[in-house]
Structure 1
């Protein structure tokens, strides 16, 4: 299980207290974690099972309501709190940039004509700016008192800033292509 998924599940469990796996999943999805943390909803259940095996979380109850499947309630253990603190510090101090899928395409961009690539980069910049603005609208909603905890707004702000930076680069790259910077 990826460190980010471990951190996300341990941290959310720490914030919510003892909780059913379904409710933890619902909480994280309400935060938008499936997008900004790239966590698939099903991986939350897998993480809980792995963390239980490692004794970082423990089962405190199981119950069944009617014909519904059995629901398990989890809580953080002392070892889970220590792992959460370790992962949190590691995550916030780590400055490595994750691999971006665009990097592979950039290694081969000279194999496309500049008059095709430049408009693609301009469109990319426009799309990225639109996504960033949509995310900023989400921040405004969070800060207006929506159901998402206020501190989660920083994850959204960070994502918007990354999109803005990439949009600026894409527009400048389009300028370089149009100026003939890569013509042989």
Structure 2
């Protein structure tokens, strides 16, 4: 079976966790957990993902009895046995063999000779601000949901990106000071 997309993996995991969930339940949970933020997931991809999981037989839909208002019957999804096995496989693969960072940054580093060193330093300082804001937002979300009182697997969803950002901040700060050293040496030679 082809590997699941990030969206499919996330949805399968949430459906397994909730036992049964409607698209709306999933949207609310995705927002609360901040998946949109760090997994880059939009509403349309969520509904497309549910359809794909259903087509692959990994989840099954059933009309739920709790009809409210005049709208259509809300569909609820449950995970199938095949879905449970696929989820297990994907989790093992994800934990054992994934990269931790955005290669877009590396593309920028590779193209460094095409900007002035001073510009690069400015851009990297802006990135430090950007990372600090991201860290603050994740930390705020973590604390507002209970922080250290959250179950370990939920805590890890916050602590892992926080840890990666802190590591990235340290790297960028070192990179800036090395660029500044180069600039200083270059200036001294002229």
TM-score, L = length of structure 1 = 0.85
Query: Residue deviations 1:149-176, cap 9 Å, x none?
Result: 6632211111111111221121111111
Q: In structure 2, what is the Cα distance between the partners aligned to 1:75 and 1:66? A: 23
- Taking a change above 3 Å as real, the CA distance of residues 45 and 37 of structure 1, as seen in their structure-2 partners, is same
- The 5 Å alignment of 1:57-136 reads 57-61=59-63, 65-97=68-100, 99-136=102-139
Shift of 1:34: 0.8
Tell me which moved more, 95-104 or 166-175: 95-104
RMSD in angstroms over aligned alpha carbons? 2.6
- Taking a change above 3 Å as real, the CA distance of residues 48 and 93 of structure 1, as seen in their structure-2 partners, is same
> 2:177 corresponds to which residue?
175
Shift of 1:12: 0.4
Please state if 1:141 is matched with 2:144. Answer: yes
Gaps in structure 1 of 5+ consecutive residues: none
Query: Residue deviations 1:39-97, cap 9 Å, x none?
Result: 22221111111111111111122565433234211111111111111111111111434
Q: In structure 1, what is the Cα distance between the partners aligned to 2:10 and 2:122? A: 38
Q: Pick from 10, 15, 28 the counterpart of residue 8 of structure 1.
A: 10
> 1:20 corresponds to which residue?
22
Shift of 1:6: 1.9
Q: How many residues align?
A: 183
TM-score, L = length of structure 2 = 0.83
Q: In structure 2, what is the Cα distance between the partners aligned to 1:134 and 1:33? A: 13
Q: In structure 2, what is the Cα distance between the partners aligned to 1:103 and 1:179? A: 21
Please state if 1:54 is matched with 2:56. Answer: yes
Structure number with the higher helix fraction is 2
Q: In structure 2, what is the Cα distance between the partners aligned to 1:97 and 1:144? A: 23
